[in-house]
Structure 1
Amino acid sequence: MRVEIWSDIACPWCYVGKARFEKALAGFPHRDQVEVVHRSFELDPARAKGDAAPVLEMLSKKYGMSPEQAQEAENNIAANAGAEGLGYRTEGRDHGNTFDMHRLLHFAKEQGRQDELIGLLYRANFADERSVFDGGDAYLVELAVEAGLDADGARAVLADPAAYADAVRTDEREAAELGANGVPFFVLDRAFGVSGAQPAEVFTQALGQAWDARPRPAMVGGDGEVCGPDGCEVPAPGDRP
Protein backbone atom coordinates (compact mmCIF):
# COMPACT_ATOMS: atom_id res chain seq x y z
CA MET A 1 0.00 0.00 0.00
CA ARG A 2 1.26 3.47 -0.84
CA VAL A 3 0.70 6.63 1.19
CA GLU A 4 1.50 9.91 -0.55
CA ILE A 5 1.90 13.02 1.61
CA TRP A 6 1.71 16.45 0.02
CA SER A 7 3.42 18.97 2.29
CA ASP A 8 5.64 22.03 2.49
CA ILE A 9 8.66 22.65 4.70
CA ALA A 10 7.18 26.06 5.59
CA CYS A 11 3.96 24.44 6.88
CA PRO A 12 3.96 23.91 10.66
CA TRP A 13 0.92 21.64 10.52
CA CYS A 14 2.79 19.42 8.05
CA TYR A 15 5.53 19.09 10.67
CA VAL A 16 2.96 18.10 13.32
CA GLY A 17 0.93 15.96 10.92
CA LYS A 18 3.98 13.90 9.92
CA ALA A 19 4.60 13.00 13.56
CA ARG A 20 0.95 12.03 14.12
CA PHE A 21 0.85 9.91 10.98
CA GLU A 22 4.07 8.16 11.94
CA LYS A 23 2.62 7.38 15.37
CA ALA A 24 -0.34 5.70 13.67
CA LEU A 25 1.88 3.89 11.17
CA ALA A 26 4.10 2.53 13.96
CA GLY A 27 1.09 0.75 15.43
CA PHE A 28 -0.29 -0.48 12.10
CA PRO A 29 0.04 -4.28 11.78
CA HIS A 30 0.98 -4.09 8.09
CA ARG A 31 3.39 -1.14 8.42
CA ASP A 32 6.21 -3.05 6.69
CA GLN A 33 4.05 -3.22 3.57
CA VAL A 34 3.33 0.53 3.46
CA GLU A 35 5.39 2.76 1.18
CA VAL A 36 5.43 6.44 2.18
CA VAL A 37 6.19 9.02 -0.52
CA HIS A 38 6.52 12.74 0.15
CA ARG A 39 5.10 15.03 -2.53
CA SER A 40 5.77 18.71 -3.18
CA PHE A 41 3.43 21.59 -2.39
CA GLU A 42 4.57 25.22 -2.10
CA LEU A 43 2.67 27.58 0.18
CA ASP A 44 4.40 30.68 -1.14
CA PRO A 45 5.63 29.88 -4.68
CA ALA A 46 5.68 33.52 -5.77
CA ARG A 47 8.22 34.54 -3.14
CA ALA A 48 11.69 34.99 -4.59
CA LYS A 49 14.56 32.81 -3.46
CA GLY A 50 16.42 34.55 -0.65
CA ASP A 51 13.47 36.78 0.20
CA ALA A 52 12.94 35.72 3.82
CA ALA A 53 10.56 37.48 6.21
CA PRO A 54 9.82 36.99 9.92
CA VAL A 55 6.99 34.50 10.46
CA LEU A 56 5.04 36.80 12.76
CA GLU A 57 5.23 39.59 10.18
CA MET A 58 4.07 37.20 7.45
CA LEU A 59 1.11 36.01 9.53
CA SER A 60 0.03 39.56 10.31
CA LYS A 61 0.23 40.62 6.68
CA LYS A 62 -1.31 37.50 5.09
CA TYR A 63 -4.13 36.90 7.56
CA GLY A 64 -4.72 40.36 8.94
CA MET A 65 -3.66 39.32 12.43
CA SER A 66 -2.46 41.67 15.09
CA PRO A 67 1.05 40.94 16.42
CA GLU A 68 -0.57 39.50 19.53
CA GLN A 69 -2.83 37.22 17.51
CA ALA A 70 0.08 36.05 15.38
CA GLN A 71 2.08 35.21 18.48
CA GLU A 72 -0.89 33.37 19.97
CA ALA A 73 -1.21 31.31 16.77
CA GLU A 74 2.46 30.35 16.98
CA ASN A 75 2.10 29.44 20.66
CA ASN A 76 -0.85 27.18 19.79
CA ILE A 77 1.12 25.31 17.14
CA ALA A 78 4.06 25.02 19.53
CA ALA A 79 1.78 23.36 22.09
CA ASN A 80 0.58 20.86 19.49
CA ALA A 81 4.15 20.18 18.38
CA GLY A 82 5.28 19.71 21.97
CA ALA A 83 2.52 17.17 22.55
CA GLU A 84 4.10 15.10 19.75
CA GLY A 85 7.59 15.44 21.21
CA LEU A 86 8.69 18.01 18.63
CA GLY A 87 10.74 21.14 19.22
CA TYR A 88 9.23 24.43 18.07
CA ARG A 89 10.59 27.98 18.27
CA THR A 90 7.84 30.54 18.69
CA GLU A 91 10.09 33.55 18.15
CA GLY A 92 12.78 34.47 15.67
CA ARG A 93 11.72 32.12 12.86
CA ASP A 94 11.42 33.26 9.27
CA HIS A 95 9.48 32.26 6.17
CA GLY A 96 10.52 31.97 2.54
CA ASN A 97 10.44 30.09 -0.74
CA THR A 98 10.85 26.31 -0.48
CA PHE A 99 11.24 25.35 -4.14
CA ASP A 100 14.92 24.37 -3.85
CA MET A 101 14.14 22.22 -0.82
CA HIS A 102 11.50 20.36 -2.78
CA ARG A 103 13.93 19.82 -5.65
CA LEU A 104 16.44 18.45 -3.19
CA LEU A 105 13.80 16.14 -1.71
CA HIS A 106 13.21 14.61 -5.15
CA PHE A 107 16.95 13.99 -5.42
CA ALA A 108 16.83 12.38 -1.97
CA LYS A 109 13.95 10.17 -3.06
CA GLU A 110 16.09 8.70 -5.84
CA GLN A 111 18.73 7.87 -3.23
CA GLY A 112 16.26 6.35 -0.79
CA ARG A 113 16.82 9.15 1.76
CA GLN A 114 13.72 11.29 1.29
CA ASP A 115 12.15 10.68 4.69
CA GLU A 116 15.44 11.39 6.44
CA LEU A 117 15.89 14.69 4.61
CA ILE A 118 12.36 15.98 5.10
CA GLY A 119 12.63 15.27 8.81
CA LEU A 120 15.85 17.25 9.02
CA LEU A 121 14.42 20.15 7.02
CA TYR A 122 11.42 20.32 9.35
CA ARG A 123 13.67 20.27 12.39
CA ALA A 124 15.91 22.96 10.94
CA ASN A 125 12.99 25.23 10.06
CA PHE A 126 10.89 24.84 13.19
CA ALA A 127 13.25 23.93 16.01
CA ASP A 128 16.83 24.99 15.24
CA GLU A 129 18.31 28.45 15.58
CA ARG A 130 19.72 28.71 12.05
CA SER A 131 17.44 29.69 9.19
CA VAL A 132 16.94 27.41 6.21
CA PHE A 133 15.94 30.46 4.17
CA ASP A 134 18.85 32.83 4.63
CA GLY A 135 21.62 30.28 5.11
CA GLY A 136 22.11 29.83 1.37
CA ASP A 137 22.77 26.54 -0.39
CA ALA A 138 25.57 25.67 2.02
CA TYR A 139 23.18 24.96 4.90
CA LEU A 140 20.92 22.85 2.70
CA VAL A 141 23.95 20.82 1.61
CA GLU A 142 24.87 20.30 5.28
CA LEU A 143 21.40 18.94 5.96
CA ALA A 144 21.56 16.75 2.86
CA VAL A 145 24.83 15.23 4.04
CA GLU A 146 23.34 14.65 7.50
CA ALA A 147 20.51 12.78 5.75
CA GLY A 148 23.05 10.51 4.07
CA LEU A 149 23.31 12.19 0.68
CA ASP A 150 26.45 12.98 -1.29
CA ALA A 151 27.53 16.60 -0.82
CA ASP A 152 28.65 17.11 -4.43
CA GLY A 153 25.41 15.62 -5.70
CA ALA A 154 23.35 17.94 -3.51
CA ARG A 155 25.38 20.97 -4.61
CA ALA A 156 24.89 20.04 -8.25
CA VAL A 157 21.12 19.86 -7.81
CA LEU A 158 20.95 23.23 -6.05
CA ALA A 159 23.24 24.85 -8.65
CA ASP A 160 20.96 23.78 -11.53
CA PRO A 161 17.54 25.48 -11.31
CA ALA A 162 16.09 22.98 -13.77
CA ALA A 163 17.10 19.90 -11.78
CA TYR A 164 13.92 18.14 -10.56
CA ALA A 165 11.89 21.28 -11.29
CA ASP A 166 9.50 19.30 -13.47
CA ALA A 167 9.06 16.72 -10.70
CA VAL A 168 8.04 19.45 -8.25
CA ARG A 169 5.57 20.95 -10.72
CA THR A 170 4.12 17.52 -11.48
CA ASP A 171 3.49 16.93 -7.77
CA GLU A 172 1.78 20.30 -7.46
CA ARG A 173 -0.35 19.68 -10.52
CA GLU A 174 -1.45 16.30 -9.18
CA ALA A 175 -2.35 17.89 -5.85
CA ALA A 176 -4.66 20.31 -7.67
CA GLU A 177 -6.20 17.47 -9.67
CA LEU A 178 -6.91 15.58 -6.44
CA GLY A 179 -8.60 18.64 -4.96
CA ALA A 180 -5.93 19.53 -2.40
CA ASN A 181 -6.06 23.22 -1.57
CA GLY A 182 -4.03 22.97 1.60
CA VAL A 183 -1.45 20.79 3.31
CA PRO A 184 -0.73 18.37 4.80
CA PHE A 185 -2.76 16.18 2.46
CA PHE A 186 -2.51 12.41 2.75
CA VAL A 187 -3.63 10.06 -0.04
CA LEU A 188 -3.79 6.34 0.66
CA ASP A 189 -3.60 4.10 -2.41
CA ARG A 190 -5.25 6.89 -4.45
CA ALA A 191 -8.52 5.75 -2.84
CA PHE A 192 -8.71 7.56 0.52
CA GLY A 193 -7.74 11.11 1.41
CA VAL A 194 -7.04 12.71 4.79
CA SER A 195 -6.68 16.48 4.96
CA GLY A 196 -4.84 18.25 7.75
CA ALA A 197 -2.82 17.29 10.82
CA GLN A 198 -5.46 14.92 12.15
CA PRO A 199 -5.08 13.02 15.44
CA ALA A 200 -3.19 9.75 15.19
CA GLU A 201 -6.46 7.87 15.70
CA VAL A 202 -7.83 9.25 12.44
CA PHE A 203 -4.77 8.05 10.56
CA THR A 204 -5.08 4.65 12.22
CA GLN A 205 -8.65 4.38 10.96
CA ALA A 206 -7.70 5.53 7.46
CA LEU A 207 -4.84 3.03 7.23
CA GLY A 208 -7.17 0.21 8.21
CA GLN A 209 -9.85 1.24 5.74
CA ALA A 210 -7.36 1.59 2.89
CA TRP A 211 -5.81 -1.79 3.68
CA ASP A 212 -9.17 -3.53 3.76
CA ALA A 213 -10.20 -1.90 0.48
CA ARG A 214 -7.19 -3.16 -1.48
CA PRO A 215 -8.15 -5.19 -4.59
CA ARG A 216 -8.15 -8.93 -4.05
CA PRO A 217 -7.24 -11.42 -6.82
CA ALA A 218 -10.30 -12.58 -8.76
CA MET A 219 -10.77 -16.34 -8.76
CA VAL A 220 -11.43 -17.93 -12.16
CA GLY A 221 -12.59 -21.54 -12.46
CA GLY A 222 -13.45 -24.06 -9.78
CA ASP A 223 -11.31 -25.97 -7.36
CA GLY A 224 -8.28 -27.64 -8.87
CA GLU A 225 -5.40 -29.67 -7.54
CA VAL A 226 -3.14 -27.65 -5.32
CA CYS A 227 0.00 -28.00 -3.27
CA GLY A 228 -0.06 -26.83 0.32
CA PRO A 229 1.92 -27.10 3.56
CA ASP A 230 0.81 -30.73 3.91
CA GLY A 231 1.83 -31.75 0.43
CA CYS A 232 0.20 -31.96 -3.01
CA GLU A 233 -3.19 -33.32 -3.90
CA VAL A 234 -2.91 -36.43 -6.05
CA PRO A 235 -5.94 -37.36 -8.17
CA ALA A 236 -7.39 -40.79 -7.61
CA PRO A 237 -6.53 -43.31 -10.38
CA GLY A 238 -10.00 -43.09 -11.89
CA ASP A 239 -9.78 -39.30 -12.01
CA ARG A 240 -6.65 -39.18 -14.13
CA PRO A 241 -7.08 -38.18 -17.78
Structure 2
Amino acid sequence: MQVDDATSEISVGFLNYFDLEPQTFAWRDAIPHTIESRRSLLSDLLFFDTLLLSGGVREPATLYPPTGVSSLSTLLHAIENSNYDRLKKDSLVYFLLKWHQDGREVRFADERCISPQFCALCDAYWHLDTGWNVERAVSILSDARLNRDYASKIIEVISLSDNPTPLIVKYVRTCKPLLTEPDDIDIYALSLAETSFLEAWQYQRSFSENDETRPRVLRKLLNWTLSRKNLTLEPTQSF
Protein backbone atom coordinates (compact mmCIF):
# COMPACT_ATOMS: atom_id res chain seq x y z
CA MET A 1 0.00 0.00 0.00
CA GLN A 2 1.35 3.41 -0.98
CA VAL A 3 0.76 6.40 1.33
CA ASP A 4 1.94 9.99 1.30
CA ASP A 5 5.46 10.51 2.65
CA ALA A 6 4.14 13.16 5.02
CA THR A 7 1.71 10.76 6.64
CA SER A 8 2.68 10.09 10.26
CA GLU A 9 3.26 6.63 11.67
CA ILE A 10 0.17 7.03 13.88
CA SER A 11 -2.13 7.95 10.99
CA VAL A 12 -0.74 5.01 8.99
CA GLY A 13 -1.62 2.80 11.95
CA PHE A 14 -5.15 4.19 11.91
CA LEU A 15 -5.51 3.05 8.30
CA ASN A 16 -5.38 -0.54 9.54
CA TYR A 17 -8.80 -0.07 11.11
CA PHE A 18 -10.39 0.74 7.73
CA ASP A 19 -11.25 -1.48 4.77
CA LEU A 20 -8.99 -0.22 2.00
CA GLU A 21 -10.07 -2.43 -0.89
CA PRO A 22 -12.19 -0.60 -3.52
CA GLN A 23 -15.17 -2.92 -3.13
CA THR A 24 -15.33 -2.47 0.68
CA PHE A 25 -14.01 1.07 1.07
CA ALA A 26 -16.43 2.97 3.33
CA TRP A 27 -16.84 5.92 0.93
CA ARG A 28 -17.24 3.99 -2.29
CA ASP A 29 -19.65 4.51 -5.18
CA ALA A 30 -22.13 7.37 -4.63
CA ILE A 31 -21.44 7.94 -0.93
CA PRO A 32 -19.10 10.93 -1.43
CA HIS A 33 -21.73 12.58 -3.63
CA THR A 34 -24.37 11.88 -0.98
CA ILE A 35 -22.21 13.54 1.69
CA GLU A 36 -21.56 16.55 -0.55
CA SER A 37 -25.28 16.90 -1.19
CA ARG A 38 -25.97 16.71 2.52
CA ARG A 39 -23.32 19.38 3.14
CA SER A 40 -25.02 21.73 0.67
CA LEU A 41 -28.32 21.29 2.55
CA LEU A 42 -26.64 22.19 5.84
CA SER A 43 -25.32 25.61 4.82
CA ASP A 44 -22.16 23.99 3.44
CA LEU A 45 -21.03 22.93 6.91
CA LEU A 46 -21.37 19.43 8.34
CA PHE A 47 -20.82 18.69 12.01
CA PHE A 48 -17.64 16.84 11.06
CA ASP A 49 -16.49 19.98 9.21
CA THR A 50 -17.11 22.02 12.34
CA LEU A 51 -15.15 19.58 14.48
CA LEU A 52 -12.21 19.71 12.08
CA LEU A 53 -12.28 23.51 11.99
CA SER A 54 -12.35 23.67 15.79
CA GLY A 55 -9.17 21.60 15.79
CA GLY A 56 -7.43 24.01 13.43
CA VAL A 57 -7.88 21.91 10.27
CA ARG A 58 -8.49 24.26 7.36
CA GLU A 59 -10.82 23.71 4.40
CA PRO A 60 -12.42 20.49 5.69
CA ALA A 61 -14.53 20.17 2.56
CA THR A 62 -11.34 19.44 0.61
CA LEU A 63 -10.49 16.56 2.98
CA TYR A 64 -13.85 14.98 3.73
CA PRO A 65 -15.25 12.75 2.42
CA PRO A 66 -12.20 10.79 1.29
CA THR A 67 -12.52 9.09 -2.07
CA GLY A 68 -9.67 6.60 -1.80
CA VAL A 69 -6.83 5.34 0.37
CA SER A 70 -4.60 8.29 -0.44
CA SER A 71 -7.19 10.92 0.48
CA LEU A 72 -8.15 8.95 3.61
CA SER A 73 -4.52 8.92 4.73
CA THR A 74 -4.34 12.68 4.07
CA LEU A 75 -7.44 13.21 6.23
CA LEU A 76 -6.03 11.06 9.04
CA HIS A 77 -2.76 12.98 8.83
CA ALA A 78 -4.67 16.27 9.14
CA ILE A 79 -6.46 14.93 12.22
CA GLU A 80 -3.19 13.74 13.72
CA ASN A 81 -1.70 17.22 13.23
CA SER A 82 -4.73 19.10 14.54
CA ASN A 83 -4.74 21.12 17.76
CA TYR A 84 -6.76 18.48 19.58
CA ASP A 85 -5.56 16.25 22.38
CA ARG A 86 -5.26 12.49 21.89
CA LEU A 87 -8.79 11.75 23.07
CA LYS A 88 -10.44 14.15 20.62
CA LYS A 89 -8.26 12.97 17.74
CA ASP A 90 -9.28 9.39 18.45
CA SER A 91 -12.91 10.50 18.61
CA LEU A 92 -12.69 11.90 15.08
CA VAL A 93 -11.30 8.57 13.86
CA TYR A 94 -14.16 6.85 15.71
CA PHE A 95 -16.59 9.05 13.75
CA LEU A 96 -15.00 8.01 10.45
CA LEU A 97 -15.06 4.32 11.35
CA LYS A 98 -18.83 4.53 11.83
CA TRP A 99 -19.14 4.80 8.04
CA HIS A 100 -18.36 1.08 7.80
CA GLN A 101 -21.65 0.48 9.69
CA ASP A 102 -20.40 -2.81 11.11
CA GLY A 103 -19.59 -1.77 14.68
CA ARG A 104 -15.82 -1.66 14.29
CA GLU A 105 -15.78 1.78 15.92
CA VAL A 106 -16.80 0.12 19.19
CA ARG A 107 -13.68 -2.05 19.19
CA PHE A 108 -11.59 1.01 18.34
CA ALA A 109 -13.14 2.94 21.24
CA ASP A 110 -12.32 0.08 23.62
CA GLU A 111 -8.74 -0.17 22.41
CA ARG A 112 -8.20 3.60 22.56
CA CYS A 113 -10.13 4.06 25.85
CA ILE A 114 -12.44 6.71 24.38
CA SER A 115 -14.89 7.87 27.04
CA PRO A 116 -18.57 6.97 26.54
CA GLN A 117 -19.54 10.66 26.41
CA PHE A 118 -17.26 11.31 23.45
CA CYS A 119 -18.53 8.20 21.67
CA ALA A 120 -22.12 9.29 22.29
CA LEU A 121 -21.48 12.77 20.88
CA CYS A 122 -19.82 11.30 17.80
CA ASP A 123 -22.77 8.94 17.33
CA ALA A 124 -25.22 11.86 17.56
CA TYR A 125 -23.23 14.06 15.16
CA TRP A 126 -22.88 11.18 12.71
CA HIS A 127 -26.65 10.66 12.64
CA LEU A 128 -27.21 14.39 12.19
CA ASP A 129 -24.63 14.63 9.40
CA THR A 130 -26.04 11.68 7.50
CA GLY A 131 -29.69 12.47 8.20
CA TRP A 132 -30.20 8.79 9.09
CA ASN A 133 -32.23 8.25 12.25
CA VAL A 134 -32.21 11.85 13.48
CA GLU A 135 -34.56 10.67 16.24
CA ARG A 136 -31.67 8.60 17.61
CA ALA A 137 -29.42 11.68 17.62
CA VAL A 138 -31.98 13.66 19.64
CA SER A 139 -32.30 10.81 22.14
CA ILE A 140 -28.52 10.63 22.56
CA LEU A 141 -28.22 14.38 23.06
CA SER A 142 -30.79 14.28 25.87
CA ASP A 143 -28.06 12.78 28.09
CA ALA A 144 -27.28 15.48 30.68
CA ARG A 145 -23.59 14.52 30.66
CA LEU A 146 -23.15 15.73 27.08
CA ASN A 147 -22.33 19.30 26.15
CA ARG A 148 -24.90 21.73 24.75
CA ASP A 149 -22.86 23.08 21.82
CA TYR A 150 -24.15 23.79 18.31
CA ALA A 151 -27.83 24.25 19.26
CA SER A 152 -28.58 26.34 16.16
CA LYS A 153 -27.00 23.79 13.87
CA ILE A 154 -28.85 20.93 15.54
CA ILE A 155 -32.19 22.72 15.16
CA GLU A 156 -31.34 23.42 11.51
CA VAL A 157 -30.71 19.71 10.91
CA ILE A 158 -33.83 18.58 12.76
CA SER A 159 -35.89 21.05 10.72
CA LEU A 160 -34.87 19.16 7.57
CA SER A 161 -36.01 15.78 8.89
CA ASP A 162 -39.35 14.11 8.34
CA ASN A 163 -41.93 15.33 10.86
CA PRO A 164 -39.51 17.73 12.60
CA THR A 165 -42.00 19.39 14.99
CA PRO A 166 -42.04 16.78 17.80
CA LEU A 167 -38.27 16.31 17.51
CA ILE A 168 -37.59 20.03 17.90
CA VAL A 169 -39.84 20.18 20.97
CA LYS A 170 -38.20 17.07 22.42
CA TYR A 171 -34.70 18.41 21.74
CA VAL A 172 -35.31 21.74 23.47
CA ARG A 173 -37.20 20.22 26.39
CA THR A 174 -34.80 17.38 27.12
CA CYS A 175 -31.46 18.86 26.09
CA LYS A 176 -32.29 22.35 27.36
CA PRO A 177 -29.93 24.25 25.04
CA LEU A 178 -29.67 28.00 25.53
CA LEU A 179 -31.68 29.48 22.66
CA THR A 180 -30.37 32.93 21.80
CA GLU A 181 -30.75 33.18 18.03
CA PRO A 182 -34.09 34.66 16.86
CA ASP A 183 -34.59 31.92 14.26
CA ASP A 184 -34.11 29.19 16.88
CA ILE A 185 -36.59 30.82 19.25
CA ASP A 186 -39.15 31.29 16.47
CA ILE A 187 -38.81 27.71 15.23
CA TYR A 188 -39.26 26.37 18.76
CA ALA A 189 -42.29 28.59 19.42
CA LEU A 190 -44.01 27.50 16.21
CA SER A 191 -43.17 23.87 16.90
CA LEU A 192 -44.79 24.26 20.31
CA ALA A 193 -47.85 25.78 18.65
CA GLU A 194 -48.20 22.71 16.47
CA THR A 195 -48.44 20.52 19.57
CA SER A 196 -50.07 22.89 22.07
CA PHE A 197 -50.91 26.51 21.36
CA LEU A 198 -51.34 27.14 25.09
CA GLU A 199 -47.74 26.08 25.72
CA ALA A 200 -46.54 28.26 22.85
CA TRP A 201 -48.47 31.19 24.31
CA GLN A 202 -46.93 30.59 27.72
CA TYR A 203 -43.50 30.40 26.10
CA GLN A 204 -43.79 33.86 24.52
CA ARG A 205 -44.94 35.21 27.89
CA SER A 206 -41.73 33.89 29.47
CA PHE A 207 -39.87 36.77 27.83
CA SER A 208 -39.87 40.19 29.47
CA GLU A 209 -42.27 42.80 28.12
CA ASN A 210 -39.21 44.96 27.45
CA ASP A 211 -37.56 42.20 25.45
CA GLU A 212 -38.06 42.64 21.69
CA THR A 213 -38.27 38.85 21.44
CA ARG A 214 -41.73 38.76 23.02
CA PRO A 215 -43.62 40.87 20.44
CA ARG A 216 -41.77 39.17 17.58
CA VAL A 217 -42.74 35.68 18.79
CA LEU A 218 -46.29 36.89 19.43
CA ARG A 219 -46.56 38.11 15.82
CA LYS A 220 -45.25 34.76 14.59
CA LEU A 221 -47.85 32.90 16.62
CA LEU A 222 -50.70 35.14 15.50
CA ASN A 223 -49.67 34.80 11.85
CA TRP A 224 -49.47 31.03 12.33
CA THR A 225 -52.97 31.02 13.82
CA LEU A 226 -54.41 33.08 10.95
CA SER A 227 -52.77 30.91 8.32
CA ARG A 228 -54.22 27.80 9.98
CA LYS A 229 -57.68 29.37 10.03
CA ASN A 230 -57.41 30.31 6.36
CA LEU A 231 -56.52 26.73 5.49
CA THR A 232 -59.52 25.48 7.47
CA LEU A 233 -61.93 27.94 5.83
CA GLU A 234 -60.67 27.36 2.29
CA PRO A 235 -63.55 25.84 0.28
CA THR A 236 -63.17 22.32 -1.00
CA GLN A 237 -62.73 22.20 -4.75
CA SER A 238 -65.42 20.19 -6.55
CA PHE A 239 -64.91 18.12 -9.65
TM-score, with normalisation over the residues of structure 2?
Answer: 0.23
TM-score, with normalisation over the residues of structure 1?
Answer: 0.23
Larger Rg: 1
Which one scores higher on RCO, CA 8 angstroms, separation ≥ 6? 1
Higher strand proportion: 1
Higher helix proportion: 2
